C-alpha cells in the first residue's frame, strides 16, 4: 500500500546524470569533456541554480532553465564539441559552456592537462548534482573505494552564495563499476537505468538506447478499478516490478501527474504528487479521479526509471473486450491445451472454453476466472478434456456485461486465430496496423475519441498498413476497422502521445 497519495504542485520531474565523458581522446581537446543530464519526467523541471560538482569545482546552471520531460541538457568545456569527440557522427552544441558562462564556476576549470576530471589511473572522481538548496539530486562514481577526496567549495553568482564539501555530506553514490578508458563515455545502459556501460558510441544530447540493451527492471501496470464510479474509492491501479530480485527495488519512488485540463499534455498547469511505497511486490494507487495520467517510477537506488501512461474512465464509459488471439497449443493424455490473449484484458470477468462435435451445438468445458485484473498481453490458458469435440470457441464476459465469442477453432485443421493488432502503443505520429488474413481487402477505419466523436477516418490495406496521426491531438482513442463487406467491426484502443 502506498505511503501517500496527496495531490500537490511541484516535484514535476526526475533529473539524472545520464552520461559523462571524463577522459577525452588524444585528438580531442580536454575541454570536450561533457556531462549529460536527462529529465526523465513525467513533467518539466526548472533546473536553474542546480549545481554540478566533482568535489574540486562546481558549475551552476543559470536561473530559470526549464528542462522538459525527455529533454537532455549538455554541459561541456566548449560550446561546440566536434564530431568524434562527444558523438561519433555529428558535432554537439552544448547548452552550457563552463569556460564562458559568466562566472558560473567556483573557480576557473583547467583547459589543459586533466581538465575538469582526473584522467588516467583510477579516474574515479565522483559527480554530484545538487538542487538550489544543496540537496542531492543524483550522485555517481566509477568506484567508491577509489573515490577522489573533495575540497571545500564556495559558489557565488546570480543564484546566491553557497558553500559545501562533498566529503562532509551524507551522499549515497551510485557506482558505475566500469574500468577507466580514454575516449569512452560512462553512459546508462538504457536512459534512466541503474546499469552503466563504457560507451564508445558517445551520444551526448541523444539517447543511449540500442536494440540489444534493455532495462534491468521493468514495470507492469494493472487496473484494479478502471472506472471512476465509487465517490470514495474512485479508480485504482497497481504497478508490479519484473526482473531478478524485484523485491530489492523497494522502496519504490514515484511522481504521478494528472492531466487536469484534459488537453493530453503534462505541464506545470497539471497536478503532481510524489510518493514512496515500501511494500513489495507492487506499488498501489487509489482514489484516482477520471483523467489521463502519467507516472515515473524508480527503484530504491534512485534509477531503474520508467514512464507509464494510463487512464481512469468515467463511470459511464465502456470499452469493448477485444480478442487478439485464440490458439491451440497441444494435446496430451490430460486433454487439449489452448491459449488466448485479450486487448484491455483488465475488463474480463470470466471466460469459458466451449466444445462441439460439429460446430452447431456447444457445451462448456473449462472456465477461466481471473483472481486479479489481467494485464494486457497476459495469456489465458485453458484445458479441454479429450472427448468427441473437434471444434472449439471462447465465450467471454466483460465487466461491462458484454458477451463476446471467438471464431471457431478446429483441431482437424489446427488453424489458429489471430486478430488485428496495432503498434506502437503509446504512439507518436505513425500507427502501424495488421489484420492477419485480410490480404489486400480495402478496409474502412475510424478513430474515435473518448466522447464518441469520429475525429479521423479513411481506408487502409490492413495486411500491413500505416495511419498518419500527426493532425490528432494527444489523448486516448479507439481505432475501429470495418471492411467494405459490412462484417463485424474490430475495435482497438491506443494512446496518442
Question: By the 8 A CB rule, do 75 and 96 touch?
Answer: yes
Ranking 232-236, 310-314, 319-323, 426-430 by mean pLDDT, the lowest is 319-323
Higher pLDDT, 65 or 389: 65
CA distance 407 to 402: 16
Q: Are residues 407 and 431 in the same domain?
A: no
Residue 412 has pLDDT above 60, yes or no: no
> Do β-strands 96-97 and 72-76 pair in parallel, antiparallel, or remain unpaired?
parallel
Higher pLDDT, 4 or 482: 482
User: 3-state DSSP call for residue 167?
Assistant: helix
Ranking 190-199, 224-233, 316-325 by mean pLDDT, the lowest is 316-325
Q: Tell me 178's DSSP state.
A: P
Look at the chain and report how many structural domains it folds into. 4
Residue 283 lies in a domain: yes
Q: Are residues 195 and 229 in the same domain?
A: no
Residue 272 has pLDDT above 80, yes or no: yes
CA distance 313 to 295: 17
Ranking 186-190, 342-346, 348-352, 409-413 by mean pLDDT, the lowest is 409-413
Residues contacting 371, CB < 8 A, separation 6+: none
Q: Are residues 154 and 33 in the same domain?
A: yes
Residue 105 lies in a domain: yes
Q: Are residues 262 and 281 in the same domain?
A: yes
Question: By the 8 A CB rule, do 9 and 169 touch?
Answer: no
Q: pLDDT of 285-322, one tens digit each? A: 999 998 889 999 999 888 999 888 888 887 765 556 67
Q: Are residues 58 and 194 in the same domain?
A: yes
Q: Tell me 441's DSSP state.
A: -
Residues contacting 135, CB < 8 A, separation 6+: none
Q: Are residues 55 and 192 in the same domain?
A: yes
Residues of the chain above pLDDT 70, percent: 87
- Mean pLDDT on 73-91: 91
Q: pLDDT of 437-468, one tens digit each? A: 555 667 788 898 876 788 999 888 766 678 99
Q: What's the confidence (pLDDT) of residue 316?
A: 67
Residue 388: which CATH number? 2.60.40.10
Q: What's the confidence (pLDDT) of residue 419?
A: 58
Span between the terminal Cα atoms of the chain, in Å: 29
Q: Are residues 286 and 255 in the same domain?
A: yes
Q: Are residues 300 and 330 in the same domain?
A: no
Indicate the residue among 418, 443, 459 that finishes a domain.
418
Distances (CA, A) of 348 to 6, 68, 112, 285, 488: 31, 37, 65, 21, 20
CA distance 418 to 406: 10
- Mean pLDDT on 157-166: 94
DSSP letter string, 346-394: GGEEEEEEEEESSSSS-EEEEEE--SSPPPTTPPEEEEE-SSS--EEEE
Higher pLDDT, 399 or 80: 80
**Other C-beta atoms lying within 10 Å of the C-beta of residue 306:** 20
Distances (CA, A) of 212 to 190, 202, 367: 10, 16, 40
Residue 6 lies in a domain: no
**Other C-beta atoms lying within 10 Å of the C-beta of residue 247:** 9
Closest to 307 in 3D by CA, of 293, 317, 294: 294
Among 3-17, 124-138, 248-262, the range with the most confident prediction by mean pLDDT is 124-138
Indicate the residue among 199, 232, 262 that finishes a domain.
199
Question: By the 8 A CB rule, do 462 and 429 touch?
Answer: no
Which residue's entry shows cell 568545456?
Answer: 77
Q: Are residues 91 and 136 in the same domain?
A: yes
Bridge partner residues of 52 (DSSP): 59, 129
DSSP letter string, 105-151: BSSPPPSSTTTTSPPSTT---EEEEE-TT--EEEEEES-GGGPPPP-
Indicate the residue among 199, 226, 245 that finishes a domain.
199
Distances (CA, A) of 191 to 90, 142, 161, 223, 276: 20, 18, 33, 26, 22
Q: Are residues 328 and 391 in the same domain?
A: yes
Residue 97: which CATH number? 2.60.40
Is residue 8 very low, low, confident or very high in pLDDT (cuts 50, 70, 90)? very low
Can you give the residue range of the structural domain that contains 426?
A: 421-496
Among 157-166, 171-180, 417-426, the range with the most confident prediction by mean pLDDT is 157-166
Amino acid at each position: 500500500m502506498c505511503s501517500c497519495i496527496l495531490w500537490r504542485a511541484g516535484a514535476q520531474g526526475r533529473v539524472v546524470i545520464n552520461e559523462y565523458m571524463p577522459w577525452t581522446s588524444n585528438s580531442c581537446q580536454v575541454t570536450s569533456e561533457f556531462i549529460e543530464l536527462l529529465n526523465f519526467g513525467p513533467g518539466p523541471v526548472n533546473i536553474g541554480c542546480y549545481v554540478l560538482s566533482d568535489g574540486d569545482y562546481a558549475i551552476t546552471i543559470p536561473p530559470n532553465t526549464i528542462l522538459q520531460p525527455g529533454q537532455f541538457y549538455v554541459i561541456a568545456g566548449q560550446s561546440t564539441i566536434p564530431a568524434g569527440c562527444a558523438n561519433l557522427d555529428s558535432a554537439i552544441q552544448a547548452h552550457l559552456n563552463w569556460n564562458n558562462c559568466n562566472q558560473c564556476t567556483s573557480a576557473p576549470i583547467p583547459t589543459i592537462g586533466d581538465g575538469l576530471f582526473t584522467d588516467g589511473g583510477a579516474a574515479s572522481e565522483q559527480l554530484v548534482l545538487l538542487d538550489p538548496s544543496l540537496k542531492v539530486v543524483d550522485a555517481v562514481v566509477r568506484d567508491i573505494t577509489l573515490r577522489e577526496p573533495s575540497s571545500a567549495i564556495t559558489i557565488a553568482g546570480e543564484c546566491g552564495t553557497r558553500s559545501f564539501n562533498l566529503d562532509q555530506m551524507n551522499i549515497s553514490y551510485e557506482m558505475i563499476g566500469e574500468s577507466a578508458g580514454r575516449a569512452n563515455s560512462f553512459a546508462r545502459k538504457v536512459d534512466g537505468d541503474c546499469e552503466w556501460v563504457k560507451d564508445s558510441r558517445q551520444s551526448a544530447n541523444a539517447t543511449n538506447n540500442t536494440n540489444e540493451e534493455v532495462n534491468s527492471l521493468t514495470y507492469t501496470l494493472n487496473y484494479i478499478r478502471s472506472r471512476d464510479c465509487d465517490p470514495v474509492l474512485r479508480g485504482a491501479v497497481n504497478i508490479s516490478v519484473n526482473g531478478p530480485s524485484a523485491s530489492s527495488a523497494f522502496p519504490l519512488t514515484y511522481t504521478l501527474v494528472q492531466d487536469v485540463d484534459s488537453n493530453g499534455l503534462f505541464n506545470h498547469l497539471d497536478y503532481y504528487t510524489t510518493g514512496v511505497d515500501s511494500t513489495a511486490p507492487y506499488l498501489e494507487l487509489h482514489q484516482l479521479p477520471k483523467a489521463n495520467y502519467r507516472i515515473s517510477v524508480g527503484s530504491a537506488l534512485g534509477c531503474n526509471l520508467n514512464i507509464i501512461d494510463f487512464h481512469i474512465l468515467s463511470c459511464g464509459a465502456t470499452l469493448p473486450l477485444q480478442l487478439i488471439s485464440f490458439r491451440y497449443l497441444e494435446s496430451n493424455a490430460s486433454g487439449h491445451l489452448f491459449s488466448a490473449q485479450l486487448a484491455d484484458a483488465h475488463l474480463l470477468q470470466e471466460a469459458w472454453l466451449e466444445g462441439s462435435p460439429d460446430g452447431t451445438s456447444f457445451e462448456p468445458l473449462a472456465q477461466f476466472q481471473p483472481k486479479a485484473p489481467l494485464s494486457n498481453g497476459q495469456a489465458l490458458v485453458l484445458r479441454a478434456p479429450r472427448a468427441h469435440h473437434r471444434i472449439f470457441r471462447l465465450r467471454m464476459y466483460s465487466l461491462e456485461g458484454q458477451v463476446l465469442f471467438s471464431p471457431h477453432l478446429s483441431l482437424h485443421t489446427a488453424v489458429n486465430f489471430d486478430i488485428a493488432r496495432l503498434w506502437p502503443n503509446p504512439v507518436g505520429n505513425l500507427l502501424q496496423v495488421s489484420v492477419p488474413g485480410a490480404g489486400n481487402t480495402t478496409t474502412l477505419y475510424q478513430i474515435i475519441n473518448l466522447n464518441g466523436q469520429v475525429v479521423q477516418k479513411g481506408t487502409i490495406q490492413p495486411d500491413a498498413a500505416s495511419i498518419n496521426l500527426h493532425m490528432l491531438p494527444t489523448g486516448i482513442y479507439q481505432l475501429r476497422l470495418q471492411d467494405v463487406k459490412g462484417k463485424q467491426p474490430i475495435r482497438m484502443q491506443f494512446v496518442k502521445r
